[in-house]
Chains A and B, each alone.
Chain A
């Protein structure tokens, strides 16, 4: 991996920015260079939020990009907004309880019912960590242990167990997706 561009986008409350922070902190721990920029839709509530993350072996000059290598999207609105920016040969991970995908030629699309799975675990707030475990199983961005370290050091004790379970579940779902 010389450079990986991730675009994470979803509704406010979906934990998109937290997900970006966890990935960024992990990248730094893994001795990579990483930069994250954020954007919000101009709505006081109900809007989207976006985190663009670049992970690289070399210093990153310019933090902005248009075309991601992996797009993670958790709402229909943001899926519709961003799917056209994903180049051929690159990937989309979508939240399949909320997003009904359409055909995007040349783009690999994988759905994960992260929100309903998070509900089953006990709280919808860990949907983002389920996605993280899933994404890393499928794309092997970094060793799992790096992400788990960041989760252990940054999540409150009360919620730690839930988050670790969420990561594990995501990883298992990723495994299944790879098989199918």
Chain B
């Protein structure tokens, strides 16, 4: 753990009334981000706009590219060059980035992508809310890899989770997504910037070997230390399956070790990475699973249900991937039913069904464009509540 670099151009500790997207920018800068490449897209634009002003102030570089493909490739290049880097986008841009996200996973290049979801599919609803990219985050690129995605539900969490995303990306050498949504991104709320000494910052682990002994993708480690291009270590980076030196190979055993490691470095650490919030879930007969903006509506619905004597609770995954299934299993072992509320046609619902076998799992599928009100969710609670 290292410290926040003391720099009076960073946002000072204090209390602010801040937009979610802006909070993400200030969090990124405090985490050490000094490069941003992006292409304009609603509803993530405020991130690029503020970055273009703030990065030069802290000695960083902002670049607008010809499209999202160029943007994410520049972010990966900067990361290999030793700079903490990120981009921000929404659904259509995120689709364009998928191939490069696979490249980041294969080359173990840390990067942060803030994805502010809007309604889809395709260009869909640029200015309105959606939560339809839960599965795309996990399975968007081809082949086997593991990725991490955070699910903020407030401007405060846009700040906190952007810092966490950098830490996780640089600790595990993976691309990490902050999967927000239009309403959280555009909402203003209280954001507390804690004293810098309370903020954990993770830097890349540098090689300890001499340049002669160094293997950039050594299987000696689950997460190999990462050299910076240009500092004397021989580095070869390719999307092709590669050996420990980074050179292309088709040797079955070598590829097996590589792909296994890419997956294991997240799966073996899923309980350290995954986060969740519980609200009145311990004695609940019905547990609502919800995230992002819908989880706030669901929380109100839970309070309303409790005030009418219904034992309803909330389980809010703060990471979509890894999904904290083990805790949900513990909460449902006593037979509690589950209701999944999300602004899509049943994406996290499938994940919950995969892990909750002992009780009923209900779905509240919603098309994009609006967040369900607490009353909408309460109606569904009354419909499925076990009696």
Whether chain B is bound by chain A comes out as yes
- A33 at the B interface (CB under 8 A): yes
Q: Which residue of A lies closest to B189 (CB)?
A: A35
- B300 at the A interface (CB under 8 A): yes
Which of A59-67, A109-117, A129-137 interfaces with chain B?
Answer: A59-67
Which of B169-177, B180-188, B245-253, B324-332 interfaces with chain A?
Answer: B180-188
The answer to whether A34 and B17 have CB atoms under 8 Å apart is yes
Residues of B within 8 A of A36 (CB): 17, 187-189
- B318 at the A interface (CB under 8 A): no
Residues of B within 8 A of A35 (CB): 187-189
Task: Type the 1/0 row for A41-69, where 1 means its CB is closer than 8 Å to any CB of B.
Answer: 01000000000000000001111100000
- B15 at the A interface (CB under 8 A): yes
- Known contacts A28-B16, A28-B17: does B297 contact A62 (CB below 8 Å)? yes
Instruction: Give Cα A36 to B19, complex, Å.
Output: 9
Instruction: Give Cα A64 to B293, complex, Å.
Output: 10
Give the distance to chain B from A57, nearest Cβ to Cβ, in Å. Answer: 13
The answer to whether B296 and A37 have CB atoms under 8 Å apart is no
Task: Type the 1/0 row for B188-210, where 1 means its CB is closer than 8 Å to any CB of A.
Answer: 11100000000000000000000
Q: Which residue of A lies closest to B294 (CB)?
A: A62
The answer to whether A63 and B186 have CB atoms under 8 Å apart is no
- A24 at the B interface (CB under 8 A): yes
- Name B190's contact: one of A20, A28, A40, A42 (CB within 8 Å): A28
- B260 at the A interface (CB under 8 A): no
The answer to whether B373 and A64 have CB atoms under 8 Å apart is yes
- A21 at the B interface (CB under 8 A): yes
Q: Which residue of B lies closest to A20 (CB)?
A: B188
Task: Type the 1/0 row for B261-298, where 1 means its CB is closer than 8 Å to any CB of A.
Answer: 00000000000000000000000000000000000110
Give the distance to chain B from A165, nearest Cβ to Cβ, in Å. Answer: 24
Give the distance to chain A from B128, nearest Cβ to Cβ, in Å. Answer: 10
- A128 at the B interface (CB under 8 A): no
- B242 at the A interface (CB under 8 A): no
Which size class do B's interface residues fall under? 10 to 19
Q: Which residue of A lies closest to B186 (CB)?
A: A38
The answer to whether B17 and A25 have CB atoms under 8 Å apart is yes
Instruction: Give Cα A64 to B186, complex, Å.
Output: 13
- B88 at the A interface (CB under 8 A): no
Kindly name the residue among B183, B186, B189 whose own CB sees the greatest number of chain A CB atoms within 10 A. B189
Residues of B within 8 A of A40 (CB): 127
Residues of B within 8 A of A28 (CB): 15-17, 190
Residues of B within 8 A of A38 (CB): 186
- Name A21's contact: one of B15, B17, B183, B374 (CB within 8 Å): B17
Q: Which residue of A lies closest to B300 (CB)?
A: A61
- B51 at the A interface (CB under 8 A): no
The answer to whether B188 and A24 have CB atoms under 8 Å apart is yes
Instruction: Give Cα A24 to B189, complex, Å.
Output: 8
The answer to whether A37 and B187 have CB atoms under 8 Å apart is yes
The answer to whether A62 and B373 have CB atoms under 8 Å apart is yes
The answer to whether B374 and A62 have CB atoms under 8 Å apart is yes
Instruction: Give Cα A24 to B18, complex, Å.
Output: 9
Residues of A within 8 A of B17 (CB): 21, 24-25, 27-28, 34, 36
Residues of A within 8 A of B164 (CB): none
Give the distance to chain A from B377, nearest Cβ to Cβ, in Å. Answer: 10
- Name A62's contact: one of B15, B16, B296 (CB within 8 Å): B296
Kindly name the residue among A21, A60, A61 whose own CB sees the greatest number of chain B CB atoms within 10 A. A61
Q: Which of A117-132 contact B (CB under 8 A)?
A: none
Residues of B within 8 A of A42 (CB): 127
The answer to whether A61 and B186 have CB atoms under 8 Å apart is no
Residues of A within 8 A of B374 (CB): 61-62
The answer to whether A63 and B183 have CB atoms under 8 Å apart is yes
Task: Type the 1/0 row for B115-130, where 1 means its CB is closer than 8 Å to any CB of A.
Answer: 0000000000001000
Q: Which residue of B lies closest to A22 (CB)?
A: B17
Give the distance to chain B from A147, nearest Cβ to Cβ, in Å. Answer: 13
Instruction: Give Cα A37 to B184, complex, Å.
Output: 9
Interface residues of A (CB under 8 A from B): 20-21, 24-25, 27-29, 33-38, 40, 42, 60-64
Closest 7 CB pairs of A and B: A61-B300, A36-B188, A25-B17, A24-B17, A61-B299, A62-B300, A28-B17
22 A-B contact pairs sorted by A residue (CB < 8 Å)? A21-B17, A21-B188, A24-B188, A25-B17, A28-B15, A28-B16, A28-B17, A28-B190, A34-B17, A34-B190, A35-B189, A36-B187, A36-B189, A37-B183, A37-B187, A42-B127, A62-B296, A62-B300, A62-B374, A63-B187, A63-B296, A64-B371
Interface residues of B (CB under 8 A from A): 15-17, 127, 183, 186-190, 296-297, 299-300, 303, 371, 373-374
Q: 16 more A-B contacts (CB under 8 A) besides A21-B17, A35-B189, A63-B187?
A: A27-B17, A28-B15, A28-B17, A33-B190, A36-B17, A36-B188, A36-B189, A37-B186, A40-B127, A61-B297, A61-B303, A62-B297, A62-B300, A62-B374, A63-B183, A63-B189
